[in-house]
Structure 1
């Protein structure tokens, strides 16, 4: 099993959009048993797929071992794709992890999923100290979406420094330009400065994902946006297999 974290130091960069589409690609194009784990209290991935958490268990409760994680995933109408949904309790997850002083809790929870899934995609909240450290220790690949601007490049550099400083740079990092609008000269120039980085275009069909409850790779598989997500997934699989 391989775990992929969609992570950013800030919100509003298309993180949940990437998480949903990469999970869909893993489940369909690669036909892998896939779990999308929504760790963001805003629950954007959960909402986009029109899911509701199971009653009687908070999302944060999984980290307190209130119930075994394997039985908490919800099935979807997409073959091979399950989801552990988010709820508002995750707002206090960072505090809980600090109080528990269990530095490998996430890694151990992921270990329990081996045998049930081939790929786990984590939709992570914007930077939280204790949770971020757990993510860096637990996953096989960090996918970092960023807007095409110099400020976003600085945020990316800070993520690289954070991983290198605390974890020896052991986690591979794949940066992705998100919401690229090539009508804007700043976007064009920034993307041109990093020609090897994957790009996801700004597209209204991507924004409508939550309206239809489907990723564009399912609803409009022949679109330019779907092709971009497909190319990104190829890069992700290649990075996981290197």
Structure 2
């Protein structure tokens, strides 16, 4: 089973947009996919849950054991894609993750999830929290959306150091330019300096996602961002197959994103 985290220490960089679209792409390729939302905002769950779904996750119940967590996983609107919603009380989620790690139960939990899923996409909250560090210990690949700017590049260095803390090394990292406005000189300069880095533009289909409550591929697959997310997932999928954490070769385009570092 492959674990992919969508993470950045900063908020407002499009993490949930990435998590939603990558999870959908994974399911479209035939992988049994779980989108686990750790962000208290709950945007991913709100967009992908069936319209009649109104149960709320209670992370305090997770303290009782992994069975309680597994029972709160539910289907999304799309075949092959399941959801574990975020708890609005982010502290409860953080307490659960830290406690399970101290009791060495996180390994057991991920082993149990492996029985039901091929891919887990984790929508991480921002920040350098202990809970994020615990999750990243089990991550095979970290996708880092970042707005093109010098500060974003500086932030990547901090993220690498954070991920390395107490682990000795960080999982492969795939930085992706997010919310790109090609009318801005600074954004275009960043794209020129990093020509191999995947790009997701600030475009109308991003805003339409919220209105339609759909991933871009479900309504604008041939748009620039629809194709970009498809290529991005193809690159991620190839990397996971090379790492031998994704067991089955999925159907789809062989075009790949730049290699994670």
Q: Give me the TM-score of the superposition, normalised by structure 2.
A: 0.84
Q: Deviations over 1:93-132 (max 9, x none)?
A: 3345556662754443222111211111000101242112
Question: 2: CA distance between counterparts of 1:101 and 1:70?
Answer: 17
Question: 1: CA distance between counterparts of 2:215 and 2:148?
Answer: 22
Contact 1:60–1:90 (Cα < 8 Å) also in 2: no
- Aligned pairs for 1:12-27 (under 5 A) are 12-27=12-27
Change (3 A) 1:104 1:125: farther
**Once structures 1 and 2 are overlaid, which stretch shifts more, 96-105 or 16-25?**
96-105
1:225 is displaced (CA, Å) by 1.1
Aligned to 2:228: 228
Contact 1:104–1:134 (Cα < 8 Å) also in 2: no
Change (3 A) 1:124 1:64: farther
Aligned to 2:35: 36
**1:88 partner SS:** coil
**1:167 partner SS:** coil
Contact 2:59–2:96 (Cα < 8 Å) also in 1: no
Across the aligned residues of Structure 1 and Structure 2, the Cα RMSD in angstroms comes to 2.0
Aligned to 2:218: 218
Question: 1: CA distance between counterparts of 2:236 and 2:27?
Answer: 13
Residue ranges of structure 2 left out of the alignment (5+ in a row) = 243-261
- Aligned pairs for 1:1-242 (under 5 A) are 1-28=1-28, 30-50=29-49, 52=53, 54=55, 58-65=58-65, 67-95=67-95, 97-98=97-98, 102=102, 104-242=104-242
Question: 1: CA distance between counterparts of 2:24 and 2:118?
Answer: 13
Change (3 A) 1:42 1:188: same
Question: 2: CA distance between counterparts of 1:4 and 1:156?
Answer: 17
Q: Give me the TM-score of the superposition, normalised by structure 1.
A: 0.91
Residue ranges of structure 1 left out of the alignment (5+ in a row) = none
**Once structures 1 and 2 are overlaid, which stretch shifts more, 90-99 or 172-181?**
90-99
Question: 2: CA distance between counterparts of 1:93 and 1:221?
Answer: 34
Q: Deviations over 1:131-178 (max 9, x none)?
A: 122122111111111101111111111001122343222411111111
Aligned residues: 240
Change (3 A) 1:203 1:140: same
Question: 2: CA distance between counterparts of 1:104 and 1:171?
Answer: 20
Question: 2: CA distance between counterparts of 1:23 and 1:223?
Answer: 18
Contact 1:60–1:89 (Cα < 8 Å) also in 2: no
Contact 1:59–1:85 (Cα < 8 Å) also in 2: no
